[in-house]
Amino acid sequence: MKISARNQLRGTVEAVDLGVVTAKVSVRIGSNLIESVITRQSVQELAIEVGSEVTAVIKSTEVMLMVD
């Protein structure tokens, strides 16, 4: 599948926390952990489970940073 987003990070699903409507999916990319909240239905249709190889596609118009 082709997509225009350039920020694509391949990783392994480390955790899936299913809610009633949404699910939080934690993806390990090297030493980093990225979390995505998607619909529960999407998790089921894509057969995402712990150990699945996925690509995190990040499409954003701004990135905010903060330090104390």
Which segments of the chain have a pLDDT < 70?
none
What's residue 33's pLDDT? 95
- List the beta strands (DSSP E) in 6-46: 7-18, 22-29, 32-39
- Report pLDDT for 39: 97
pLDDT at 58: 87
**Residue 64 confidence (pLDDT):** 78
Domains, the chain, ordered by start: 7-52 (2.40.50.100)
**Core vs surface per residue 19-47: b (16+ CB within 10 A) or e:** eeeebebbbeeeeeeeebeeeeeebeeee
Predicted confidence at residue 23, as pLDDT, reads 97
pLDDT at 68: 84
